[in-house]
Amino acid sequence: MRVFAVLLLIILLTTGACKQDHNAHIQPSKRPTPVVYVTNYPLYYFTNRIAGQTIDLHFPAYKHPDPSNYTPPTDTITTMQQADAIIINGAGFEPWLIDADLAEHLIANTSQNIIDKLLGNGTIFTHSHDNQTEHAHTETASILWLDLDMANQQALAITNTLKALLPKAATQFEANYNNLSKELMHLHQAFKSTTQNNQKPVIFTHPIYQYFQRAYKLKGANLHWEPTDSLTPAKLTELKRLNTKIQTDIIIWETTPNPQSVTTLQQLGFRNTTINPCTATPTQGDFLSVMQRNLNSLQGALNQDQ
């Protein structure tokens, strides 16, 4: 059992250096309205757009401020066991799965078909198999959907899962996916156009933007700050040391930082910009409107230098 747990942990947290996870075949539902669970807001939005009222959709972390830190309680796991499908992000987003008593055939991993595009997040852990020498793995970065092309691939994986669950609605699912795909790819191209001539690096306050950086060719460096943090002298020294290397005046936050931080950074000559990862349910709008606001914010920051 211990060996199995270690192997599963590697699958969940790494890019598949030792072993890749595989989606089991999703069976057609015996219910007229299949029961489907999702694990983060982007998956909820995509699934809802594609399936509409044809399924009974559940997002247990709907009100949680950060679904990546959410662990379903025992009673939720019990209800999930009765689902027709559990649509997950994969790429290490759901480490609680290692301890969850959920049948493999229920799990639909939206990152399985793009596993070759996954990136590490810089965190390294070591382990050994039985009495073998310890070796290291890099944890996988999990905020895939900030690369909107990868978001589109996740939406396609959801579509295929739904078609397997409810074959009679396949044509509807494909049409809804095509409409969603057009919107995602329109924004994807808009981000690419915004950054195609940009040479200026940026500072990310949290190391979650790996796919965003790669997709839109943004050079930058990472801090490990929270928007609610106070900017202590130690943090400002850290910022100064980092900026000596990359020389920029653009700082990107997950959400709007506290007003005192904004003022302090402005006095130091920095511009505060928000790129919301949209992991949790937005307080305003939906996934696409949040991505549009992200685009507007990035355009505003980069255009000041043109």
Task: Provide DSSP, 28-89.
Answer: PPSSSS-EEEESSHHHHHHHHHHHGGGSEEE-TTTT-S-GGG----HHHHHHHTT-SEEEE-
Q: Are 12 and 140 in contact (CB under 8 A)?
A: no
Asked whether the domain spanning 197-275 has the same topology as the one spanning 2-188, the reply is yes
Q: What is the pLDDT of residues 128-170, one digit of tens each?
A: 334 454 433 468 999 999 999 999 999 999 999 999 999 999 9
Q: What's the token pair of residue 281?
A: 């349910």
Nearest to 54 by CA among 26, 81, 29, 27: 29
Q: What is the pLDDT of residue 158?
A: 98
- pLDDT of 202 reads 97
**For every residue of 122-168, which 3-state class applies, written as one string?**
EEEEEECCCCCCCEEEEEECCCHHHCHHHHHHHHHHHHHHHHHHCHH
The pLDDT, as a whole number, for residue 122 is 54
pLDDT band for position 306 (cuts 50, 70, 90): low
Tell me the three-class secondary structure of 212-239, residue by residue: HHHHHCCCEEECCCCCCCCCCHHHHHHH
CATH architecture, domain 197-275: 3-Layer(aba) Sandwich (3.40)
CA angle 45, 51, 54 (to 5 degrees): 135
Domain ranges of the chain: 2-188, 197-275
Q: Please indicate whether residue 229 or residue 16 has the higher confidence score (pLDDT).
A: 229
In tens, the pLDDT along 69-125 reads 999 999 999 999 999 999 999 999 999 999 999 999 999 999 999 999 999 875 533
Instruction: Kindly report the backbone phi and psi dihedral angles of residue 100, in degrees, each rounded to the nearest multiple of 5, phi listed first.
Output: -90, 130
Sign of CA dihedral 286, 49, 85, 118: negative
pLDDT band for position 15 (50/70/90)? very low
Residue 121: per-residue pLDDT: 72
Neighbouring C-beta atoms of residue 22, cutoff 10 Å: 11
Q: What are the structure tokens assigned to 58, written together?
A: 């559940």
**Both tokens assigned to 110:** 């939206």
pLDDT digits (tens, 9 = 90+) for 226-285: 999 999 999 999 999 999 999 999 999 999 999 999 999 999 999 999 999 999 999 999
| CATH code 3.40.30.10 for 2-188 | no
Q: Which helix (H) or strand (E) holds 202?
A: strand 202-204
User: How many residues can be counted in the chain?
Assistant: 306
Q: What pLDDT, on the 0 to 100 scale, is given for residue 123? A: 52
Taking alpha carbons only, the member of 211, 23, 196 closest to residue 117 is 211
The residue among 104 and 9 whose pLDDT is bigger is 104
Residues 173, 50 contacting (CB under 8 angstroms): yes
pLDDT at 126 over 50: no
Confidence of residue 10 (pLDDT cuts 50, 70, 90): very low
- Give Cα separations from 78 to 74, 113, 136, 236, 261 (angstroms): 6, 28, 34, 47, 44
Closest listed residue to residue 165, CA positions, set 68, 85, 253? 85
